[in-house]
Amino acid sequence: MEKSAVRIKDIAAKANVSVGTVDRVLHNRGRVSEKVRQKVLRMMEELDYEPNLIARALGSNRTYQLAVVQPDHLIDPYWQAPWDGIGKAAKELKQYGVTVTMYPYELTEVASFVAQAEAATQSAPDGILIAPLFYRESLAFFARWQAESIPYVLFNTYIAELPALSYVGQDSYQSGFLAGKLVQFGQAEPGTYLIAHIAEDIANSLHVTQKERGFRDYFAQLPAPAPGAPGAPANVVSIALPDPTDPSFARQLNRLLDDETVQLRGIFVSTSKAYEIAPYLQAYHREDVRLVGYDLLEKNIHFLHENVIDFLINQNPHEQGYQGVFALADQLVFKKEVPPLKYLPLDIITKENLRYYVGE
Amino acid sequence: MEKSAVRIKDIAAKANVSVGTVDRVLHNRGRVSEKVRQKVLRMMEELDYEPNLIARALGSNRTYQLAVVQPDHLIDPYWQAPWDGIGKAAKELKQYGVTVTMYPYELTEVASFVAQAEAATQSAPDGILIAPLFYRESLAFFARWQAESIPYVLFNTYIAELPALSYVGQDSYQSGFLAGKLVQFGQAEPGTYLIAHIAEDIANSLHVTQKERGFRDYFAQLPAPAPGAPGAPANVVSIALPDPTDPSFARQLNRLLDDETVQLRGIFVSTSKAYEIAPYLQAYHREDVRLVGYDLLEKNIHFLHENVIDFLINQNPHEQGYQGVFALADQLVFKKEVPPLKYLPLDIITKENLRYYVGE
DNA sequence: AAAGCTTGCGTGTGCGCACACATTATTTTG
DNA sequence: CAAAATAATGTGTGCGCACACGCAAGCTTT
């Protein structure tokens, strides 16, 4: 393949300067005459120099503090997976002098979010990874970090207003689109398809509305039924349900399932809480209603095995955490280019392929 | 989190010996009295020493030669992806002194396989990654490598006879099982489901028969139709087709599609060549026949977009190559434990989530 | 014009480890 | 019992790089 890698020393020799000078142009530390600078750069080109990252990490005692702001994994089980992914990345990057500090906030408390984001900012980290569940409150922090030129990476929720270093997560729109396919595929008869939002502040949560748009667009683009064939086009309705402990949650669901005028074909739950809907379908013996949701939570998996949930879309939370941290490390430690958008795959999970996705 | 990492030097100090002695017990180079040895080991325990791999890679000039034996990527497009994955791994590991040499063989030529495996062996590598498509011929090589204690990793095709360091790839049985689900899901009416093997030497290719077993078992475990409900249980038939250039390929397919006594519901192609079947379905306008196959080849993707192929199962060839190389590196370079079985997920691909899987 | 700056370079040390080599203790041998 | 052999341990160098420092020459100051 290649000859033994070229070193700073080789460039120095070729350019008739010392290694110190090469180092200076390499890191733009100034104190080099333009003439020499150009010469060194030319030599680096010619020899196709690539710094030895191993040696670099060893030689520099530079350390990087990363702050992670995400919901507490002890409160909501979904957040265990990104937490683990972040931990894994932290372990691998420890040798490169990277330290990761967590700032967990309470999923539903704006104040907690603000407090932890503030704490993270105060710690003056070299980079920030954040799951910005609260749209409005996030923007102010983005602005501050931008002003202080602290690179920050978004995950789980995409906010495009201020340009972050990178976003790691799913394409919410396409994710809803896919959900449409999964809920409708193979069902020839016309009928109603439901998209259910559970305990979501829709107005302050962009990606949920994107999922709904995708879902609706899937049905909109379906070919019209053949002329003469039975059936009107599919009917899509959306419903915003409260927290499942709220009595109106059960009331609304029961009313829906009791209503014999709607031909319910499928339900798409826009969050990881499909397991809250599943018991109702089971109670009503509605095996004919397709149920699609998100994420491989234990309770979801249970209903997947019971054939109540038909498909789960895996949001790859583990990867989101892992790659989120690595995006920062790539930027800071390895000086690599970081793509501004890293869409994780929309894994389709059924009972049959589940086992290869859990516990990665 | 943790204090600054402990170094050899720290252990040496704590045990009242020199770093050289610690180094000797660390690498089992002998020349250390048992008493001191135990003491040093105890100190390492106490301080929870973990070697700094960065420094290790730098300090030792040790290099590792890896040999990869896989089908030529220029002949069959499927093999491009593992090739790329291997290349990516090679690039990342280069700094750790790992060099990867490819020994491509001709997919269908046993002699070529043997010749390249022989060449790889002759090069006396430190580790071998191999896609052992030819069952019988592989065994002899495994035995030799075992005798010479060269660690070898299998990918793509699992052979359990001799214990390799690791296998990276899919669970073929479950993969067939999943294919059954995909081909049947949502189809209430009874009928015939076909599993098609294209140009495969089934007798000498274990994983194809495993796929078929899984496929058949899926239908066997389906709940029997409700009493009084219409329909006999699904009928599964298998067919071994020759190379598509062979005139009998077209003849057999045409006969099958012309036969009006079979209610064909779906076809599962056990290899990546679903695109060879798709044109026939298209010509016969059999949109009702579900088609499921493997891998994101350009031609398959084409028919996925045309709605002729309904699902593709992604074998993750890129990951197979990447992780295969890393399994060897983990063993040799990083002295990590390597799991003997690394099942890659069975990704379900549709038109809607395709884009996030191509070009990873 | 002497004392400061600034610029443009070279030198030296250390990061944690591997490994060759030097040195000192302990046996073995003639 | 001294000499030789061997076992046990210590020392030193280099891997490629970052970074602090040193040093000379030209340039301002007052």
Contact check, Cβ <8 Å, B186/A181 = no
Q: Which of residues 56-115 of B touch strand C (CB under 7 A)?
A: 56, 58-62
Tell me the average pLDDT across A209-218. Answer: 96
Q: How confident is the model at residue B3 (pLDDT cuts 50, 70, 90)?
A: low
Q: Are strands B311-314 and B347-349 parallel, antiparallel or unpaired?
A: antiparallel
Contact check, Cβ <8 Å, B181/A52 = no
Would you state the structure tokens that stand for residue B78, as one six-digit string?
Answer: 């499927």
Find the Å distance, CA of residue A61 to C1' of nucleotide C14.
10
A209/chain B closest Cα distance in angstroms: 19
Q: How confident is the model at residue A225 (pLDDT cuts 50, 70, 90)?
A: low
**Predicted local distance difference test score (pLDDT) of residue B207:** 85
Find the Å distance, CA of residue A39 to C1' of nucleotide D24.
22
A310 neighbors A285 (Cβ within 8 angstroms)? no
d(Cα A290, Cα A194) in Å, to the nearest integer?
A: 10
Find the Å distance, CA of residue B13 to C1' of nucleotide C25.
21
Q: How confident is the model at residue A2 (pLDDT cuts 50, 70, 90)?
A: very low
B24/chain A closest Cα distance in angstroms: 23
What is the per-residue pLDDT across A190-208, written as a single tens digit (0 to 9) for each?
Answer: 899 999 999 888 877 788 9
* A1 pLDDT more than 80: no
**Predicted local distance difference test score (pLDDT) of residue B357:** 94
d(Cα B65, Cα B87) in Å, to the nearest integer?
A: 14
Contact check, Cβ <8 Å, A95/B348 = no
A230: left (phi over 0), alpha (psi -120 to 50) or beta: beta
Contact check, Cβ <8 Å, A357/B345 = yes
- A140 in contact with chain B, both atoms CB, cutoff 8 A: no
Distance between first and last Cα of chain B: 33
| Residue B33 CB partners (closer than 8 Å, separation 6+) | none
Contact check, Cβ <8 Å, B347/A347 = yes
Which amino acid, residue B125?
P
B241 neighbors B252 (Cβ within 8 angstroms)? yes
* A232 pLDDT more than 80: no
Residue B77, helix vs strand vs coil: helix
**Predicted local distance difference test score (pLDDT) of residue A314:** 96
Count Cβ atoms within 10 A of the Cβ of residue B252 and give its class: 0-12 exposed, 13-18 middle, 19 or more buried. middle
What is the per-residue pLDDT across B194-243, written as a single tens digit (0 to 9) for each?
Answer: 999 998 888 777 888 999 999 999 999 988 765 555 545 789 999 999 99
Residue A242, helix vs strand vs coil: coil
Burial B231-243 (b: 16+ CB within 10 A, else e): eeebebebeebee
- The protein residue nearest nucleotide C19, judged by CA to C1', is B60
d(Cα B329, Cα B153) in Å, to the nearest integer?
A: 11
Tell me which chain B residues have a C-beta less than 8 angstroms from the C-beta of A191.
Answer: none
Adjacent-strand bridge partners of A341: A167
Structural element, H or E, at residue B332: helix B317-332
* A244 pLDDT more than 70: yes
Helix and strand numbers (H, E) in chain B are: 13, 12
| Strand C–CB B51 distance below 7 A | yes
| Residue B16 CB partners (closer than 8 Å, separation 6+) | none
**Predicted local distance difference test score (pLDDT) of residue B2:** 46
- For chain A, the residue count is 360
- B65 in contact with chain A, both atoms CB, cutoff 8 A: no
Residue B260 to residues A57, B65, B192, B251, Cα–Cα distance (Å)? 70, 59, 12, 16
What stretches of chain A show up as alpha helix (H) in DSSP? 8-15, 19-26, 34-47, 53-59, 80-93, 110-122, 135-147, 172-184, 206-221, 247-258, 274-283, 298-305, 317-332
Q: To the nearest whole percent, how much of chain A has pLDDT over 90? A: 81
Residue B19 to residues A122, B26, B33, B40, B66, Cα–Cα distance (Å)? 41, 10, 15, 10, 32
Tell me the average pLDDT across A280-307. Answer: 95
* A92 pLDDT more than 80: yes
Contact check, Cβ <8 Å, A177/B352 = yes
What is the per-residue pLDDT across A103-136, written as a single tens digit (0 to 9) for each?
Answer: 999 998 999 999 999 999 999 999 999 999 998 9
Structural element, H or E, at residue B146: helix B135-147
Find the Å distance, CA of residue A20 to C1' of nucleotide C23.
37
**DSSP3 helix / strand / coil % (chain A, rounded to 5):** 45, 20, 35
d(Cα A168, Cα A153) in Å, to the nearest integer?
A: 8
* A250 pLDDT more than 80: yes
- A336 in contact with chain B, both atoms CB, cutoff 8 A: no
φ/ψ of A311, rounded to 5, equals: -140, 145
CA A125, A128, A132, A136 dihedral sign is positive
| Residue B280 CB partners (closer than 8 Å, separation 6+) | B250, B253, B254, B257
What is the per-residue pLDDT across A4-17, written as a single tens digit (0 to 9) for each?
Answer: 789 999 999 999 99
Contact check, Cβ <8 Å, B348/A343 = no
Average pLDDT of chain A?
92
Nucleotides of C under 7 A from a protein CB: 7-12, 14-21
- A344 in contact with chain B, both atoms CB, cutoff 8 A: yes
CA B6, B12, B13, B16 dihedral sign is positive
- B343 in contact with chain A, both atoms CB, cutoff 8 A: yes
B242/chain A closest Cα distance in angstroms: 30
Contact check, Cβ <8 Å, A347/B345 = yes
**Residue listed under structure tokens 């098609």:** B196
Q: Could you tell me the domains of chain A? A: 8-51 (1.10.260.40), 64-170+317-345 (3.40.50.2300), 172-314 (3.40.50.2300)
Would you state the structure tokens that stand for residue B247, as one six-digit string?
Answer: 């005139």
d(Cα B114, Cα B103) in Å, to the nearest integer?
A: 11
Which amino acid, residue A68?
V
Tell me the average pLDDT across B352-360. Answer: 88
What is the per-residue pLDDT across A313-358, written as a single tens digit (0 to 9) for each?
Answer: 999 999 999 999 999 999 999 888 999 999 999 999 999 999 999 8
**Predicted local distance difference test score (pLDDT) of residue B1:** 38
A34/chain B closest Cα distance in angstroms: 32
- A44 in contact with chain B, both atoms CB, cutoff 8 A: no
d(Cα A191, Cα A193) in Å, to the nearest integer?
A: 7
**Predicted local distance difference test score (pLDDT) of residue A302:** 98
Q: How confident is the model at residue B118 (pLDDT cuts 50, 70, 90)?
A: very high
Q: Are strands A311-314 and A347-349 parallel, antiparallel or unpaired?
A: antiparallel
In chain A, the residue whose alpha carbon lies closest to the alpha carbon of B57 is A54
Q: Which nucleotide is nearest to A33 (CA to C1')?
A: C8
Other C-beta atoms closer than 10 Å to the C-beta of B357 total 18
d(Cα B344, Cα A357) in Å, to the nearest integer?
A: 9
> Closest partner residue to A346 among B95, B343, B356, by Cβ?
B356
| Beta strands across the sheet bearing B290-294 | B235-241, B192-198, B264-269, B290-294, B311-314, B347-349
**Predicted local distance difference test score (pLDDT) of residue A12:** 95
Adjacent-strand bridge partners of A73: none
What is the per-residue pLDDT across A59-73, written as a single tens digit (0 to 9) for each?
Answer: 988 899 999 999 999
Nearest to A209 by CA among A162, A166, A271, A161: A271
